[in-house]
């Protein structure tokens, strides 16, 4: 069975799915957006690893088993190291 659409229905459907275009993107603002996003991701990583270490440490104090702290640090340590190396590493002259 085949559905035949009238010309009027086809034209209204075409207009219905036209993408809306927003405001023009300011290219000069791109480095600021990039820096804000990078800072947010860095803070999120540090806070998440810190919270995981606190939870694992609390669990270790209760159970006297500190293996979860070692596991969390084995995963989170390199992430913290990458953030610290990026923000506190040697600066490159771009100019």
What confidence tier does 23 reach under pLDDT thresholds 50, 70, 90?
confident
Residue 85 lies in a domain: yes
Distances (CA, A) of 24 to 29, 57, 71: 12, 49, 47
Residue ranges making up the domain that contains 66:
49-89
Residue 73 lies in a domain: yes
Question: What is the tally of structural domains in the chain?
Answer: 1
Residue 79 lies in a domain: yes
Residue 83 lies in a domain: yes
> What is residue 15's predicted lDDT score, i.e. its pLDDT?
58
- CA 59 to CA 63: how far, in whole Å? 6
Range with the poorest average pLDDT among 27-31, 55-59, 90-94: 90-94
The pTM of this model reads 0.65
Read off the pLDDT of each residue in 2-24 and give the average, rounded to a whole number.
Answer: 61
The per-residue pLDDT for range 38-49, each reduced to its tens digit, is 899 999 999 999
Alpha-carbon Rg for the chain in angstroms: 26
More confident of the two residues 50 and 14: 50
The rounded percent of the chain whose pLDDT value lies above 90 is 48
Residue 69 lies in a domain: yes
């Amino acid at each position: 069975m085949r559905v035949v659409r009238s010309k009027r229905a086809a034209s209204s459907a075409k207009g219905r799915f036209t993408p809306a275009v927003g405001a023009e993107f300011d290219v000069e603002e791109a480095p600021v957006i990039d820096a804000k996003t990078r800072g947010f991701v860095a803070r999120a990583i540090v806070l998440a690893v810190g919270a995981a270490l606190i939870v694992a440490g609390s669990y270790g104090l209760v159970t006297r088993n500190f293996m979860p702290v070692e596991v969390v640090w084995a995963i989170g340590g390199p992430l913290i190291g990458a953030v610290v190396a990026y923000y506190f590493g040697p600066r490159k002259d771009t100019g």
